[in-house]
């Protein structure tokens, strides 16, 4: 299993671009791009990790999916109120897939883990995946998550190819899983 290092995720962000934009500009353009489109994937992330979110969005967009990120939703309250909880539930149900951007900060976050557990109650387990991202030159602390959920990883044999390994050990191409 090849868990993507943070540096590798950030490299994916840069390789997806024809020209360089800063993170704020990239996220603003993404937000405008998908305003009138129905999202098919909910991505859960730690709110302090904008660069990682931008990198994950650019990576996943290569697979032809539309992405919903609550932080980019102007109608979403930024506090942890009942209204926020209700809106999160609606968006998790509405989107076809759920991906947890499994950085060390997200794994340690009670809020991110609450959203993951919420998704677990609202979606079939086969529609939830972890995109594990380890800190550079360290071990990954989210081993428990990738035993419980499907996870996205680099293909062991083909460079720049990505797969999803399900909880029962079946491996699918990421594009196939996203469309299933």
* 160 phi-psi bin (left φ>0, alpha ψ -120 to 50, beta other): left
Rounded-to-integer distance, Cα 152 and Cα 155, Å: 9
Phi, psi values for residue 55, rounded to 5°:
-65, -45
pTM score of the predicted model = 0.86
Which residues span the domain enclosing 44?
A: 4-179
- Domain harbouring 160, CATH code: 3.40.50.10140
Inter-residue contact 115 to 131 (CB < 8 Å): no
Which one, of 106, 96, 39, 25, lies nearest residue 70 by Cα? Answer: 39
Structural domains of the chain, count = 1
What is the reported pLDDT for 14? 62
The strand pair at 162-165 and 171-173 is best described as: antiparallel
pLDDT tens over the chain, length 180 residues: 578 888 888 887 666 554 567 778 877 777 676 544 444 899 999 999 999 999 999 899 888 888 999 877 777 777 778 888 999 999 999 999 999 999 999 999 999 999 999 999 999 999 999 999 998 888 899 999 999 999 999 998 998 899 999 999 999 999 999 988
Rounded-to-integer distance, Cα 173 and Cα 62, Å: 13
Total H helices, total E strands in the chain: 8, 8
């Amino acid at each position: 299993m090849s868990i993507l290092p943070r540096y590798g995720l950030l490299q994916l962000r840069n390789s997806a671009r024809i020209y360089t934009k800063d993170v704020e500009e990239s996220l603003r353009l993404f937000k405008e791009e998908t305003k009138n489109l129905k999202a098919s994937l909910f991505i859960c992330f730690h709110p302090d990790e904008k660069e990682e979110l931008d990198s994950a969005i650019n990576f996943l967009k290569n697979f032809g999916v539309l992405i919903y990120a609550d932080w980019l939703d102007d109608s979403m309250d930024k506090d942890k109120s009942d209204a926020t909880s209700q809106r999160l539930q609606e968006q998790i149900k509405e989107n076809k897939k759920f991906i947890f951007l499994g950085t060390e900060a997200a794994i340690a976050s009670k809020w991110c883990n609450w959203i993951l557990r919420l998704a677990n109650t609202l979606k079939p387990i086969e529609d939830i995946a972890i995109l594990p991202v380890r800190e550079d030159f360290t071990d990954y602390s989210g081993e428990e998550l990738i035993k419980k959920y499907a996870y996205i990883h680099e293909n062991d044999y083909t460079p720049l190819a990505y797969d999803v390994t399900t909880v029962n050990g079946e491996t699918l191409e990421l594009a196939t899983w996203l469309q299933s």
